[in-house]
Amino acid sequence: MALRQPESMDECVYFTNRAVDKGHVECWVFRENCPKCKKAPMGKPRDKKTGAVKIRAKEYTCPACNHTVEKVAYEDTLTASIAYTCPHCSHKGETQIPFKRKSFEGAKALVFLCDKCKGKIPITKKMKDVGSKDELPEEEG
């Protein structure tokens, strides 16, 4: 199955393209149409004066009918599309999973399984490390 790639970031709620250990992951989540009018894709609300998107908004609104949905409720209905190279077995594949972050080794992440080796591959939020790193012992002396 060939996943549809986004043509513009305006189509996406979320997009990332990053290295994961020895592998690589590209993940995107398309915006869905309004559940009420089905005419326009939902988006974050815009400032009435400047027209700029409110970055940390807690809801999504429809530009056509102004229908509002809570951020968590809307994002739970979305599907993440992922193209990856597995860091465990170097298998290249594509998959789709629900856009729900789970706790994975102490960090919130989208977690999916490699189609070939069934190894877990996490997509953490930007700049988050998975697991706890062992600190170097202090030198005595």
The pTM is what? Answer: 0.80
Q: Is a pLDDT exceeding 50 seen at residue 134?
A: no
70-121 pLDDT, tens digit per residue, is: 998 898 899 999 999 999 999 999 999 999 989 988 888 999 999 999 999 9
Q: What is the CA radius of gyration of the chain?
A: 19
The residue whose two tokens read 């149409």 is 33
In order, the DSSP letters of 24-47 are EEEEEEEPPBPTTT-SSB-B--B-
Contacts of 60 (CB under 8 A, 6+ apart): 42, 43, 44, 45, 68, 69, 71, 74
